[in-house]
Amino acid sequence: MLWTQFKKSRFSAKVFTLSLMSAGVLAVAGTAFVIQFLLKNDPSALHFEREVASTPEPPREVAAFTYSYEIKNISIPLATRDASRIAYAQFSLKLDLPSDEAKRSFTAHRARVLNTVYQVASEFYVEDFSPEKGGNYDRFKGELQKSLAGQFRAYSPRDLAIENWILN
């Protein structure tokens, strides 16, 4: 008698499990049917727009790099093409660096930066910076930036600025 009750209870457990599984399958099928119905009638029905307070986009002029390093009062000698006269240019150099680690590296290697500035300056003459030639500051800046990128490969400055240029 116990055996028949066990069989019956076991049978009812199977039926209960099967009924739960079929209810789950029906729920999933019903949900899929409702979604298909909504998509046929209105494809935008399932696109939910969440209203978020919009923040204005930053201006495009905002720099990606925000760490600046500056060396003030650099003096470089510039000779004329015929070496009859020597002039000195004094300026401040500002570099735009990618990280705080790059700034620390440039601070630690200040002498190397200055040496690079002097090497680049040795390729220029006083006449290169005359108003008739347009100043040639862009060429000087480009050569300096290229040299610094070669010296500091991992921390290459994105941009540099020459401020307070005095040629005497």
Report for 37-51, 55-69, 137-151: range of highest mean pLDDT: 137-151
Q: What angle do CA 135, 110, 91 make, to 5 degrees?
A: 25
Helix (H) / strand (E) element for 55: namely: none
Going by C-alpha positions, the residue among 162, 157, 155, 106 that lies closest to residue 129 is: 162
Task: State the chain's mean pLDDT as an integer.
Answer: 78
**34 pLDDT more than 60:** yes
C-alpha 131/C-alpha 115 separation (Å) is 27
Confidence of residue 146 (pLDDT cuts 50, 70, 90): very high
C-alpha 166/C-alpha 70 separation (Å) is 17
Confidence of residue 57 (pLDDT cuts 50, 70, 90): very low
Going by C-alpha positions, the residue among 45, 147, 46 that lies closest to residue 93 is: 147
Q: What is the DSSP string of 124-168?
A: --GGGGSGGGT--HHHHHHHHHHHHHHHSSTT--SEEEEEEEEE-
Confidence of residue 62 (pLDDT cuts 50, 70, 90): very low
Q: Which of 22-31, 66-75, 124-133 has the lowest mean pLDDT?
A: 22-31
C-alpha 117/C-alpha 96 separation (Å) is 16
